[in-house]
Each structure stands twice: as C-alpha cells, then as structure tokens.
Amino acid sequence: MSEQEMKLEISVGKRILGWVTPVVILGAAIAGFLSMGSTPPPVRREAEAPAAAPVRTVAVRLETGGIDVEADGVVVPLREVTLAAEVGGRVTRKSDACKAGQYVKRGTLLFEIDPRDYELDVSRLERELTQAELTIEEIDEELAQNAVSTELAQRQVALAGREVNRLDLLKASKIITESEHERSQRDELTVTNTLTILQGQKRVLAKRRNRMLEAQALASTMLDRAKLDLSRTRIVAPADGVVVDDKVEQDSFVAKGTPLVTLEDTSAAEVKTSLQMDEIARIWGGRRPVGEAASQGAHDVPDTPASVVFRLGNRVYQWEGMLSRQEGRGIEEKTRTLPCRVLVPDPAGVKAIDRYGAAMTNLPPEAPRSLLRGMFVEVRVHVDNTTDLVSIPAEAQRPSGEVWLVRDGRLAIHKPHAMQMSGGRIVYDVATSGLLPNDRVVVSQLSNPREGMLVADSEDRVRESLKTADAKDTP
C-alpha cells in the first residue's frame, strides 16, 4: 500500500469519527437521563384567604349639649365719653382723681369752673321773678278795686236812669223846669261815663296782668337756664369708668365746648370678633322660638349666650356674655367674615377655670380683676342643636380628611365635612356626614387601606378571648 492510500484512509477515519462521536455522547446523555427517572410535578395549593387587618377603634359619640362656635377677639370699650365745658370760665378746681388711668365712680367731681358770674345771674333773675310776682299781685288788687267801683257805678247808672224817668213825667206835667230835667240827664251821662271808664280800666288791667304773667314765665325760664348754667360749672363723671385722657389743668380758662376729659365706660365691655358665614348660619339656625326669628330684622343677630376666655400663663379665666349685634353693614371683603360684638354686662365677674373645666371657688392672686381694653381673648358662642350631631376623637380623622369606619368587619371610608373642632374632638352633622351614633371609627394606623377590606377590631378580639377563657373555666 502506498503512502498516499494510507493518508486517504486516515482522513476518512477521522471524518467518520467526527460524525460518530457526538452521536455517541448524545446517546449516552439520553441513556443517563432515562436511567435517573422523571420527578412528579409539585402539588398545587389553594391560595389562603387574606387575613383581616387588626385595627383599634372607638365609638362615635352623639352630641346632645349643643356646640360652641369659637373665634378670636379683642376687648374694646363699650363707649368712650368726652366731657366738654358747657359754660365758659376759669377752672378753679381739678380733682385728684381726674388723671389718666384713674378709676372714677359715677357722680365723682372732676372739674369746677368759677361759679360767681352764674350765681349773680341766678340772684338777679330770682329778684326779677319776685318783682314780676309782686306786680301781678298789684294788678290783682287793682282788678278787685275795679270790680267794686264798677258795681257802684252800675248802681249809680241805674239810679240816674230812674231819676231821669221820673223827671220826664214831671216835665210832661209842667211841674219842673227844663233846666232841672237837663241836669238829671247830665248826671246820668256822668255816671255812665264813669262806668265805661271803669270797664275800660278792667280790660287794660287784664292785659297788663297777662303781660306780667308772660314776664313772670320768661323770668322763670331764664332763672332755670341760669341755674342750669350754674350746675354746669361742676363737671362730674356720668358713669363708672377710667380716665383715658385729661386735657385741661387747674386755673386754665375754657370756653364753651372745650374738651376737658375722656372717660372709658367700664360698667360693661364688648369683645370685637369675626365669624365665618357657616358659623353665623348655625347661630341663625339655633333660634328656637319661631316668633322670635320672625320678629327680628334682616340685619339682626339673635341674642346668643357666649363665654369670653382669657389665658394668662397656665391659667384660664372666663366671663359670661351675649352675642348682641353685628358691626358695620356686612361681610368684610378681605376676610369674608362678619364682624360681630359680644356684650359682657359684668366685666368684673371673672371666674377662674381649673384643668377639668370647672369654676374655682377662689380666684388666684394673679387673676385679672376685670376685662381690660386690648385683651386678646377667645369667644365661645353657645349654639343649641337643631339637628343630630356626632363627634369623634381628632386623631380619628386622617390628614386627607378621611374617616375610616368598621362596619360588618369591613372598612368603610368616608370623607365628611367637619362642623367644628374643639376639645380634641371633631363634630359632624349626622344628616350629611354618613356617621351614625355608636359607629366604630378607626384610630390606629392601617397600611394600604381600601374600601371594603377585611379588618378586625382589637376590642372584639379581646372580648372573644375573654369569653373563650370564661368558657374554659366554666366546668
């Protein structure tokens, strides 16, 4: 065999080996796999029902005592009175109490103006009045004398008339002369003239008397005016109050109308506050009597009890008042609130409130004795319930405004509109919120809350475990 043939055979052998070797390896692998056997498929398990998420709940509480509408306010004086001089003159006296910041009581003398000119006017007019009275008495005497003289003159006229009649008969009989007859007629005319004069004097005296009566009335009026001016020389406090500003010193000359002092009336005080329109709507809705609501005007705010609270450090002080009126003509454009006034009839009627909300028997030494102008206070207007209200703890409302309820073991998500938040509780209207008394509201945290998800009240679990333990202990 030649060398070329040998190379050809070797090449053919390598080619056959290259094809056979992979087939052998693949067959060996298949045989090994088959020799190992096949594993059975895993058993499928049914998905377990999701477990109920544990939550902690509290009951929704029914509110029966009304609600408090809360707002901030500032104390303002009920009124400021500026006293001015009603007569002119020199200030002869200024009271020591008439200084800024001093408290004065009603009727306290503040200033006195020189009264001598006014005393002289009173004395002069008293004499003029006395003179008019004496003149009237004189006229009355003259009228009385005139009445007597008139009566006598009338009798003389009657006698003279009868005399003339007799002489007329005698003259007709030629018994008397013509001169005697004329003499009797002349006498009749004389007494008639006298009567006429007396009657005229009576009319004149009556008119003089009327004129003197008017003079007497005028003198009396001027005397009253002089006495009034004399009384105005003493300027007194018209009410209990505090002197805000004294403008005049002693020995100064003042004219009529010159301002002397400004007083702040402390017999009562007012608190200036502003309320939202929904709060005003609650106050309007809290009016019980239908007739009272109908009798009020369109711009009247119903008289509603209110409390004024002032905080000083850790202490709380309270006054009782009344929401009395609205201030101004309507709603402020910038704040969209209605300015109102709360009247405090007794600014000195302060009560100290302890941590439990009860009034203390004795006031602390550092307690304010009265409401003071400029105090920043809290106003709580007490409104009666006209609809059913419920409340929940403040922590039960989520930051998004949602409230989670547990009903029939499932989560119910609500987003109600809160009416008020006070004392750590939030108040809702039953009709619009969807919350019912004795509903269970979630106060614990819950991961990924969903409407209708299963939840378990921890209190229910505790009650069930207690029942189970009691059942086991029972023989």
The pLDDT-based confidence of 454 (bands split at 50, 70, 90) is: confident
Give the 3-state DSSP-derived string for 237-305, with helices as H, strands as E and coil as C: CCCCEEEEEECCCCCCEECCCCEEEEEEECCCEEEEEEECHHHHHHHHHCCCCHHHHHHCCCCCCCCEE
Q: What is the pTM of this model?
A: 0.62
Q: Is the pLDDT of residue 61 over 60?
A: yes
User: What's the pLDDT at 8?
Assistant: 63
The pLDDT-based confidence of 461 (bands split at 50, 70, 90) is: low
DSSP state of 454: B
Residues 271, 374, single domain; the answer is: yes
The pLDDT-based confidence of 468 (bands split at 50, 70, 90) is: low
Residues 238, 328, single domain; the answer is: no
User: What's the pLDDT at 243?
Assistant: 92
Measured N-to-C along each axis, helices 178-231 and 116-172 cross at an angle, to the nearest 10 degrees, of 170
Letter for the amino acid at 302? P
What is the C-alpha separation between 381 and 212, in angstroms, rounded? 66
| Domains contained in the chain, number | 4
Residues 6+ away with beta carbon under 8 Å from 209: 136, 139, 140, 143
What is the C-alpha separation between 246 and 251, in angstroms, rounded? 14
Q: Is the pLDDT of residue 40 over 70?
A: no
Alpha-carbon distances of 440 from 71, 406, 417, 431, 466, rounded to whole Å: 31, 6, 18, 18, 20
What would the pLDDT profile of 77-109 be if each residue is shown by its tens digit?
A: 988 999 999 999 999 999 998 988 888 999 999
Q: Is the pLDDT of residue 275 over 50?
A: yes
Q: What does pLDDT average to over the chain?
A: 82
The pLDDT-based confidence of 466 (bands split at 50, 70, 90) is: very low
Which CATH number covers residue 97? 2.40.50.100
Residues 464, 401, single domain; the answer is: yes
CA neighbor of 462 nearest in space, from 57, 60, 61: 57
Higher-scoring residue by pLDDT: 254, 17: 254
The pLDDT-based confidence of 290 (bands split at 50, 70, 90) is: very low
> For the chain, percent helix, then strand, then coil, each to nearest 5?
40, 30, 35
CA neighbor of 73 nearest in space, from 308, 276, 281, 296: 308
User: What's the pLDDT at 387?
Assistant: 77
User: What's the pLDDT at 119?
Assistant: 94
Average pLDDT of span 21-38: 68
Which CATH number covers residue 325? 2.40.30.170
Residues 296, 315, single domain; the answer is: yes
Residues 109, 256, single domain; the answer is: yes
User: What's the pLDDT at 328?
Assistant: 74
Residues 91, 71, single domain; the answer is: no
Residues 411, 312, single domain; the answer is: no
What would the pLDDT profile of 181-227 be if each residue is shown by its tens digit?
A: 677 778 778 888 888 888 898 899 899 999 999 999 999 999 999 99
Residues 238, 377, single domain; the answer is: no
Q: Is residue 321 part of a domain?
A: yes
C-beta of residue 428 within 8 angstroms of C-beta of residue 419: yes
Residues 398, 419, single domain; the answer is: yes
Residue span of the structural domain in which 427 resides:
55-64+388-469
- Residue 261, beta-bridge partner list: 83, 246
Average pLDDT of span 257-284: 88
Average pLDDT of span 372-385: 88
Average pLDDT of span 269-288: 80
